[in-house]
């Protein structure tokens, strides 16, 4: 649950939503539902924000909306929760002072400019700790986050030059992060941080991790040690792990802590902009509105990836489906639709009947994959080689390994044969 700022209302208005109900310093957004507190603390559901597959946004009155009008302002909600805020603040300060006030460790504050990081930094100052604040330049942060880090004087940790920036790495490696295979945090955040500091130093990290963020983090205690640190004498302290998201926001509003503009735009996270596979269609609509250049840049990358890797044959979807839904991970459907085959045929310059033969073909020699399942032939060149050598009317296909064995080809000879057919202008390839 996070506050709804005027910037977000402007966003809704630009999408032809009725926002006449809005007045400042009152409403909250929680899982795409606009909520409010009635005086006394009752939470009421007012509107639902929905996004369809075409990224069309609508704002509709929630079925539980009974035309309430006696809403608490943010300040009134803060006042009602004042005792709790004072209690959790003191508990967090006590924890920070326990481990950091008289320590011989170098205290490192990692600040992403997100809400949790900003609260930890604020608490560390109140606790009287002597600490240094660092901001990871992931190359995926938007300008507002970078400017905020610079404005506050945070030291910067840059990614390893061998990877370059995120977009450079995607270009050089051909890897698109998805929910099953991703590298972003490790290459552009975790590893650079570990490499930045001397392994022999004794360090105390302050992290804005909360138990309520995920199941994985629900069992974290006050002190943690990242397995990636190995034998380094480093520890991490989690001063706000017991705080709820509402606690965080009420405290930010009460203490007048700086808010990253992305939250004001309607985002629930400020890191890893545009290309994170865990973002939703709702986030993509925000991206399209607030960061059109970055939004289009990433989708151009996705389109090029799809075409260059012939992902029609892997994902069984169209380019549009890949860009708008399927790139985040997994096979989109088990069988191609007529539209998928038609698009692939047009792109490859093939007849429909020939184009159909590229989809869902398995090695007829009974080869299996690493999961002990029938081996699916996904490589376009292998599928093309089958039809080139045995005719376009074949129904049984063989994998690359079986073809090379049958014709006695080495890898070099295979490559030479493929290139010759391509240079001859054979459309199968």
DSSP states along 218-283: TT--SEE--GGGTT--EEEE-TTTT--HHHHHHHHHHHT----HHHHHT-S--SSTTT-TT--HHH
Average of per-residue pLDDT across 89-109:
96
Q: What is the tens place of the pLDDT at every residue in 232-262?
A: 999 999 999 999 999 999 999 999 999 999 9
Range with the lowest mean pLDDT among 179-188, 190-199, 307-316?
Answer: 179-188
Average of per-residue pLDDT across 221-237:
94
pLDDT (0 to 100) of residue 33: 97
Task: Note whether 374 and 368 are within 8 A (CB).
Answer: yes
Angle ∠(252,253,255) on CA atoms, nearest 5: 65
Helix (H, G, I), strand (E, B) or coil at 38: strand
- 297 pLDDT more than 90: yes
Considering the chain, what is the average pLDDT of its residues?
94
Structure tokens at 421: 């057919």
- 357 pLDDT more than 90: yes
Angle ∠(200,201,207) on CA atoms, nearest 5: 125
Residue 318 pLDDT level (bands cut at 50, 70, 90): very high
Q: How far apart are CA 9 and CA 15, in angstroms?
A: 10
Helix (H, G, I), strand (E, B) or coil at 186: helix
- Structural domains of the chain in order of their starting residue, each with its CATH number: 2-79 (no CATH), 85-261 (3.40.50.620), 299-359 (no CATH), 362-429 (no CATH)
* Bigger pLDDT: 174 vs 62: 62
Task: Note whether 423 and 415 are within 8 A (CB).
Answer: no
pLDDT (0 to 100) of residue 245: 96
Q: How far apart are CA 191 and CA 50, in angstroms?
A: 37
Task: Note whether 205 and 99 are within 8 A (CB).
Answer: no
* % pLDDT > 90, the chain: 83
Task: Note whether 128 and 97 are within 8 A (CB).
Answer: yes
Name the burial class of residue 425, with classes exposed (0-12), middle (13-18) and buried (19+) by CB atoms within 10 angstroms of its CB.
exposed
Average of per-residue pLDDT across 183-192:
86
Average of per-residue pLDDT across 89-116:
96
């Amino acid at each position: 649950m996070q506050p709804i700022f005027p910037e977000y209302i402007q966003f809704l208005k630009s999408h032809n939503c009725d926002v006449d109900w809005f007045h400042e310093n009152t409403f909250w957004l929680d899982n795409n539902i606009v909520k409010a507190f009635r005086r006394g603390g009752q939470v009421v559901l007012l509107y639902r924000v929905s996004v369809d597959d075409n990224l069309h946004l609508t704002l509709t009155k929630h079925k539980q909306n009974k035309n309430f009008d006696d809403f608490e302002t943010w300040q009134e909600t803060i006042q009602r929760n004042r005792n709790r805020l004072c209690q959790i603040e003191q508990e967090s300060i006590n924890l920070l002072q326990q481990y950091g006030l008289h320590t011989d460790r170098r205290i490192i504050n990692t600040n992403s400019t997100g809400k949790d990081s900003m609260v930890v930094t604020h608490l560390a100052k109140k606790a009287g700790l002597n600490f240094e604040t660092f901001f990871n330049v992931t190359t995926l942060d938007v300008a507002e986050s970078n400017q905020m880090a610079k404005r506050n004087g945070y030291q910067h940790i840059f990614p390893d030059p061998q990877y370059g920036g995120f977009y450079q790495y995607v270009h050089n490696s051909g890897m698109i992060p998805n929910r099953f295979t991703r590298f972003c945090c490790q290459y552009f955040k975790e590893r650079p941080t570990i490499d930045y500091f001397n392994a022999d130093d004794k360090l105390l990290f302050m992290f804005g991790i909360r138990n309520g963020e995920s199941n994985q983090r629900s069992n974290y205690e006050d002190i943690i040690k990242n397995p990636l640190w190995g034998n380094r004498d480093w520890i991490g302290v989690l001063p706000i792990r017991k705080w709820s998201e509402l606690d965080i926001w009420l405290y930010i509003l009460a203490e007048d802590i700086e808010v990253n503009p992305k939250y004001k735009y309607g985002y629930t996270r400020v890191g890893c902009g545009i290309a994170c596979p865990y973002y939703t269609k709702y986030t993509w609509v925000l991206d399209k509105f607030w960061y059109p250049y970055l939004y289009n840049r990433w989708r151009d990358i996705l389109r090029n990836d799809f075409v260059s890797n012939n992902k029609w044959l892997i994902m069984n979807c169209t380019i549009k489906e890949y860009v708008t839904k399927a790139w985040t991970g997994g096979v989109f459907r088990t069988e191609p639709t007529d539209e998928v085959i038609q698009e692939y045929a047009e792109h490859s310059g093939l007849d429909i009947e020939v184009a159909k033969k590229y989809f869902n073909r398995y090695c007829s020699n009974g080869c299996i994959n690493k999961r002990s399942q029938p081996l699916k032939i996904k490589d376009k060149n292998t599928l093309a080689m089958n039809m080139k050598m045995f005719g376009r009317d074949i129904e049984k296909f063989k994998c690359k390994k079986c073809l090379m064995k049958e014709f006695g080809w080495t890898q070099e000879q295979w490559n030479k044969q493929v290139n010759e057919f391509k240079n001859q202008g054979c459309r199968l390839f």
